[in-house]
Amino acid sequence: MPQHIKSHGMKGQRMSAPGMHNLLRRLEPARNQLARHNVYAGLQCIEDVRVFMEHHVFAVWDFMSLLKSLQRRLSCVEVPWLPVGSARMRRLINEIVLEEESDMIDGEPVSHFELYRSAMLAAGAETRPIDAFVTALRTGADVPAALADCSAPVGARAFVGKTFEIIASDNLHQIAAAFTFGREDAIPGMFRKLIDSLSCQRSASLGLLQVYLDRHIGLDEDNHGPMAVTMLAELCGDDERRWEEAADAALTALTARLTLWSTVSSEVALRRLGVPDVIAE
């Protein structure tokens, strides 16, 4: 069991310990596959990293939609304002939103999505698909239409589609499970593997990506991960059905990540063979 789950002794977690243990047992094979995935070792040059970033940026973007769907349900974002749910839950979700949407990097506020896009530019990665996607959303397109029209990589398009299926379920504990174990709990291990790959390349153009990865490892491992676990434990309580549904959603999120990583690995291999990246029609 992750250290932050064992050590974060909130009352809600103690009450729901069997549910958490059962969930982790179900997720263990997928989590192990994610830790051992060949995508990390496969990033052997700057061109490989660019392929990775051009896919991964869509996961960076849809993370915020997953987070905002939780904030919308756990706190009040409407006018007139009314107190919603427990103050502790509001505090947890708003604290995560504060740092994800307006973190302080080098003394300046920036969202992690905007930081990642800047890292793409520094690395020479192509930002036209993600920029076209965001522009389409700003002009009123829905997510599927915007994905179809922006030349998003197929793997990224499938990943975002799966995330929005979970959001559309409107099932709060399942959304929280996908957020907790598909994202916050998984990110430190994934990003450490990526840093190991980047350290072999010694490219100044990857410095901002390193900043992004380091920041997430620290935040998610020490703060956001434990907060998300606490939130999920409170939402599921002692309800066995909720824990089963939470495990289903978390497994769906992890499986989607594995598929995305496999797609990136395939496209890196194709690039080396001189085959153009696979783009959504």
Structure tokens at 197: 């790959």
For position 250, what pLDDT does the model report? 98
Cα distances (Å, whole numbers) of residue 155 to 77, 88, 91: 32, 37, 34
Cα distances (Å, whole numbers) of residue 271 to 57, 175, 256, 266, 275: 19, 35, 23, 9, 5
* pTM for the predicted model, two decimal places: 0.91
* Nearest residue to 260 (alpha-carbon basis) of 45, 55, 51: 55
Kindly report, residue by residue over 44-84, the tens digit of the pLDDT. 899 999 999 999 999 999 999 999 999 999 999 999 999 99
Whether the pLDDT of residue 15 is over 60: the answer is no
Kindly report, residue by residue over 151-204, the tens digit of the pLDDT. 999 999 999 999 999 999 999 999 999 999 999 999 999 999 999 888 777 678
Contact residues for 46 (Cβ-Cβ < 8 A; gap 6+): 123, 124, 201, 203, 205, 206
Determine contact, residues 151/279, Cβ cutoff 8 Å: yes
Angle between helical axes of 225-236 and 172-179 (0-180°, round to 10): 160
Kindly report, residue by residue over 94-150, the tens digit of the pLDDT. 999 999 999 999 999 999 999 999 999 999 999 999 999 999 999 999 999 999 999
Distance between CA atoms of residues 154 and 175, nearest Å: 23
